[in-house]
Structure 1
Amino acid sequence: MLNKHQKIQFSQMVERSVEQATKNLSGTKGVVSVRLSQEEIDVIDQLVFLELAKNRSDATAMLIREGIRTHESLFNEMREYTAELEQVKAKMQRRIQESGLVGRLQQADDREEIPNGGDGHESKSND
């Protein structure tokens, strides 16, 4: 059982943890799981050991942000090309829909029958 002083310390620790978690999560959009080599994990652990990052997650995020910042012009160019490709994709989807091809393919698919009750095996006739 905790004494009064320990309970107060524990309560303060929980409050600090909640505050820190809230700070860490502010602006966070999602969680990504990644597989890393031991060498990459060692670099991340060194950042944590040197107290340049609070934990592995923060160290990893820091390195990713730095990589994106370093190659910002390349990623901006990639975004522009991706936007252009999205427009071409949407145009082709509309064109294919308007052609009626998708509907005809779906009708043809619906008309196909699977032989012998759908088990995919042909039965031999005993004629």
Structure 2
Amino acid sequence: MDNCCKCFELAWTDGPAVGKRLRVQVVNEGGNSTTANSRTFMILTPGGGVGPNIQGCEAQYGYDWGRKYGGVVKAEDCVTLPERLQAGCYWRWNWARGDVNGWGIDYERIECPRELTDVSGCKA
């Protein structure tokens, strides 16, 4: 896991969030995340879908998490999630303006902001 704890700044190049930037920290790595000169970032947010790990949240909490890949399809569906997760679900619709799957991004490695490492406890 060469990238664990490293931070990147993502810049959206298309879709409704074009021009927006987000700083992220890698907390897990696996599968085919890097091919040729491209990289896939999975931004885990409440309501973003359970992905390949259907044994996790869905089994534990029993809520409607939306599509396996992509989660809820509109902001109004965030109310189907546990109350403490709804704000994170609304972030995607309010900040990113929609379903972020498949949008183009540019990325660069950055020094990890303290705000991220204080939460994760992880330093590269």
The interval holding the TM-score normalised by the smaller chain is under 0.3
Higher relative contact order (CA 8 A, sep 6+): 2
Q: Which has the larger radius of gyration?
A: 1
Q: TM-score, normalised by structure 2?
A: 0.22
Q: TM-score, normalised by structure 1?
A: 0.21
Identify, as 1 or 2, the structure richer in helix. 1
Identify, as 1 or 2, the structure richer in strand. 2
